[in-house]
């Protein structure tokens, strides 16, 4: 199990000490052209979560490759490059321009842009033709059948899946009853997303067996263990990094303790355990009743 | 260097309608005046950004206006309770000035007491929306104080090197008078260390993170007039001309919704932050 950051939840150039506590750094999503992102207000706290409407702010492919990537390489960390775009060629061109990185994560699911990418499988197929690097498809649990999307991207050549992106939500100012976010809606993250992530990882593991980077509301080592049990090979931290830059070390320590409580030597020993039949306490209770 | 430590509450004191939260300093560096800390708000997901108000021996003190659930939770802490504190963060005021004048509005006076210690003898002018709020001026002995409808901008000697913190319309009015003023801005903020991209403002034609580039920014001409679309919209919707609005800082602050104020409060400018 590798511990990563979720794309867009850490700037390794500004906070290298936090990045070095991870097993790899995932960049903010890179698009062909620079994007300023959405106007402020961009974030709002909600009950057990937060909304963000950053809008894929990034320096664009050329400046990323010429300026940011060389500086990121100096960190000597495995780099995962999050790639975005608005058509298959956008993604494929960036993939083609990348080499010597740990993996490429295709952001097929940003809730904060109007020109949403369509046709996940088509994009993955175009990128597969453009690169031999490991390709992870980042999907949204907002799709009514995320397992079907997972099968489609697997057939198109994805090496792995990243699950889940945020879900679209809104928050109102309690007095004015108008949206807090300038864009009205943003992506919901934080603890309220965890059950959604568990379900999506469980479904997509069952559908594809592909390696999965699980993420969504991870706050504790126990959360990591549960994602692994659902079928995540690796786990990424998102919102928890905002409130606790020391979260990587804390969560690793908690994870070791959680594994011991689960009666295993290490977290990898519970990989996909949630798929084993007849293990739920409810099942046992029924049998003995 | 910023550190994150669990610190205990030494005391909680009322300062007019505001609250002064005094924490045991531990190994935390108080930093430069104008820098800020992220304080865990009990029961809330995100910490709140608050600029350091005072650094008495062995303590760090923060001035808080309870405008939403996070700041309310901080104000309800009692001596002995513990919260995580992360900082100091961001860029503070430049202290190499010849004729310093401290200018504060409302809860925006938060970073000025610590700044005054670094600039001994510097005069200060403070504006508040009510006499009750003006009780907080006790934190800056000798300061000249005005209360709405008199605006703090009427007390500024434009020949001075202004170091200001206050509501955005006040900062704009200050900058109009003193283009080289050092201004501490605020924006909603989740992380305080460049990770979330939530606190962007437009600087030199680009959106930049206030927690990394600020919260103290130097000439306003670097900051786009559209810093806060919400306030611009309000100005456009009201019959009051924006320029008049820009001189009525305390009133405008009072008219903002609770959530709005909470998300903006102490942020990089001086106080709280993330909602």
pLDDT, chain B, mean: 83
- Residue B273 maps to a domain: no
Sheet holding B36-39, edge to edge: B48-51, B36-39, B82-89, B3-15, B18-24, B59-64
**Domains: count for chain B:** 2
pLDDT exceeds cutoff 80 at B202:
no
Show residues of chain A in contact with B70, CB under 8 Å: 45
Show residues of chain A in contact with B226, CB under 8 Å: 39
Cβ atoms of A127 and A92 closer than 8 Å: yes
DSSP secondary structure code for residue B109 in this structure = G
Q: Which domain holds residue B28?
A: 3-89
Whether B109 and B85 map to the same domain: the answer is no
Closest Cα partner for B243 from B225, B227, B230? B225
- Residue B275 maps to a domain: no
pLDDT exceeds cutoff 60 at B220:
no
Whether B74 and B137 map to the same domain: the answer is no
Whether B76 and B106 map to the same domain: the answer is no
- Residue B269 maps to a domain: no
The token pair at A16 is 């290298």
pLDDT per residue as tens digits for the range B20-58: 999 999 999 999 999 999 999 999 999 999 999 999 999
- Residue B38 maps to a domain: yes
Residue B207: its pLDDT value, please?
81
Say if B226 is an interface residue toward chain A (CB within 8 Å). Answer: yes
Whether B58 and B165 map to the same domain: the answer is no
Whether B146 and B12 map to the same domain: the answer is no
What fold does the segment set A3-288 form as a domain? Answer: TIM Barrel (3.20.20)
CA distance A256 to B20: 40
Whether B127 and B260 map to the same domain: the answer is yes
Interface test with B, best of A19, A41, A187 (most B CBs within 10 A): A41
State how far residue A246 is from chain B, nearest Cα, in angstroms: 8
Residue B120: its pLDDT value, please?
96
Whether B26 and B149 map to the same domain: the answer is no
- Residue B155 maps to a domain: yes
CA distance A50 to B215: 22
Residue A279: its pLDDT value, please?
56
Whether B146 and B230 map to the same domain: the answer is yes
CA distance A260 to B208: 44
Cβ atoms of A210 and A150 closer than 8 Å: yes
Whether B218 and B238 map to the same domain: the answer is yes
pLDDT per residue as tens digits for the range B156-186: 999 999 999 999 899 999 999 999 999 999 8
- Residue B189 maps to a domain: yes
Residue B188 CB partners (closer than 8 Å, separation 6+): A40, A41, A42, A43, A44, B198, B199, B263, B264, B267, B273, B274, B275
Instruction: Please report, for chain A, the start and end positions of each structural domain, with discontinuous segments joined by +.
Output: 3-288
pLDDT exceeds cutoff 90 at B201:
no
Burial B87-101 (b: 16+ CB within 10 A, else e): bbbbbbbeeebeebb
**What integer is the mean pLDDT of A173-185?**
96
Global pTM reads: 0.88
Show residues of chain B in contact with A240, CB under 8 Å: none
Interface predicted TM-score (ipTM) of this complex, two decimals: 0.92
Whether B123 and B251 map to the same domain: the answer is yes
Whether B104 and B216 map to the same domain: the answer is yes
> How many C-beta neighbours within 10 Å does residue A93 have?
17
User: What does B214-271 look like in DSSP terms, one character per residue?
Assistant: -BEES-GGGB-TTS-HHHHHHHHHSSS-HHHHTT-HHHHHHHS-HHHHHHHTTSTTTS
Distances (CA, A) of B36 to A57, A114, B6, B29, B86: 25, 35, 16, 11, 9
Three-state DSSP state, B275: coil
Q: What percent of chain B has pLDDT over 90?
A: 73
Q: Do B194 and A11 make contact, defined as CB atoms within 8 angstroms?
A: yes
* A57: nearest CB among B47, B197, B227: B197
Residue A281: its pLDDT value, please?
58
Least confident of A143-157, A271-285, B117-131, B221-235: B221-235
- Residue B161 maps to a domain: yes
Interface test with B, best of A56, A243, A245 (most B CBs within 10 A): A243
Show residues of chain B in contact with A176, CB under 8 Å: 257, 260
Say if B79 is an interface residue toward chain A (CB within 8 Å). Answer: no
B238 pLDDT band, cuts 50/70/90, is: very low
């Amino acid at each position: 199990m590798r511990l990563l950051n979720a794309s867009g939840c850490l700037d390794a150039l500004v906070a290298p000490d936090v990045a070095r506590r991870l097993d790899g750094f995932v960049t903010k999503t890179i698009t062909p052209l620079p994007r300023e992102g959405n106007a402020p207000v961009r974030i709002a706290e909600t009950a057990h979560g937060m909304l963000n409407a950053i809008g894929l702010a990034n320096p664009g492919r050329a400046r990323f490759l010429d300026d940011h990537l060389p500086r990121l390489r100096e960190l000597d960390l495995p780099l995962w490059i999050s790639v975005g775009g608005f058509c298959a060629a956008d993604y494929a061109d960036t993939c083609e321009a990348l080499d010597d990185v740990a993996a490429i994560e295709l952001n097929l699911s940003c809730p904060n842009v109007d020109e949403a990418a369509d046709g996940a499988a088509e994009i993955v197929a175009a990128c597969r033709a453009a690169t031999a690097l490991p390709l992870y498809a980042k999907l949204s649990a907002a799709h009514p059948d995320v397992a079907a999307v997972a099968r489609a991207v697997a057939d198109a050549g994805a090496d792995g899946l990243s699950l889940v992106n945020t879900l679209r939500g809104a928050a109102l100012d309690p007095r004015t009853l108008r949206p807090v976010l300038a864009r009205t809606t943003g992506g919901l993250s934080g603890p309220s997303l965890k059950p959604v992530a568990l379900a999506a990882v469980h479904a997509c593991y069952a559908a594809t067996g592909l390696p999965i980077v699980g993420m969504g509301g991870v706050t504790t080592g126990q959360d990591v263990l549960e994602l692994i049990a659902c079928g995540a090979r690796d786990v990424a931290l998102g919102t928890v990094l905002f409130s606790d830059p020391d979260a990587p070390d804390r969560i690793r320590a908690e994870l070791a303790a959680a594994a011991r409580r689960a009666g295993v030597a290490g977290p990898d020993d519970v990989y996909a355990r949630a798929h084993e039949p007849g293990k739920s306490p409810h099942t046992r209770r029924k049998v003995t009743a | 260097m910023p550190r994150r430590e669990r610190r205990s509450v030494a005391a909680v004191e009322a300062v007019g309608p505001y609250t002064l939260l005094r924490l045991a300093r531990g190994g935390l560096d108080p930093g430069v005046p104008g820098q800020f800390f992220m304080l865990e708000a009990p029961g809330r997901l995100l910490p709140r950004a608050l600029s350091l108000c005072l650094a008495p021996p062995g303590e760090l003190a923060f001035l808080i206006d309870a405008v939403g659930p996070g700041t309310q939770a901080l104000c309800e802490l009692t001596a002995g309770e513990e919260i995580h504190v992360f900082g100091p963060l961001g860029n503070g005021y430049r202290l190499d000035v010849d004729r310093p004048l401290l200018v504060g509005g409302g809860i925006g006076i938060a970073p000025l007491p610590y700044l005054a210690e670094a600039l001994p003898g510097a005069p200060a002018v403070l504006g508040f929306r009510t006499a009750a709020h003006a009780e907080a001026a006790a934190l800056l002995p000798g300061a000249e104080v005005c209360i709405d409808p008199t605006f703090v901008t009427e007390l500024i000697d434009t020949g001075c090197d202004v170091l200001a913190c206050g509501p955005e319309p006040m900062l704009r009015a200050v900058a109009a008078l003193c283009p080289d003023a050092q201004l501490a801005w605020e924006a909603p903020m989740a992380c305080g260390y460049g990770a979330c991209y939530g606190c962007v403002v437009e600087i030199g034609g680009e959106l930049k993170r206030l927690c990394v580039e600020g919260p103290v920014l130097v000439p306003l001409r670097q900051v786009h007039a559209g810093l806060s679309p919400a306030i611009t919209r309000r100005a456009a919707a009201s019959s009051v001309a924006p320029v008049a609005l820009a001189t009525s800082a305390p009133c405008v602050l009072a008219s903002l919704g609770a959530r709005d104020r909470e998300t903006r409060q102490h942020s990089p400018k001086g106080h709280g932050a993330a909602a």
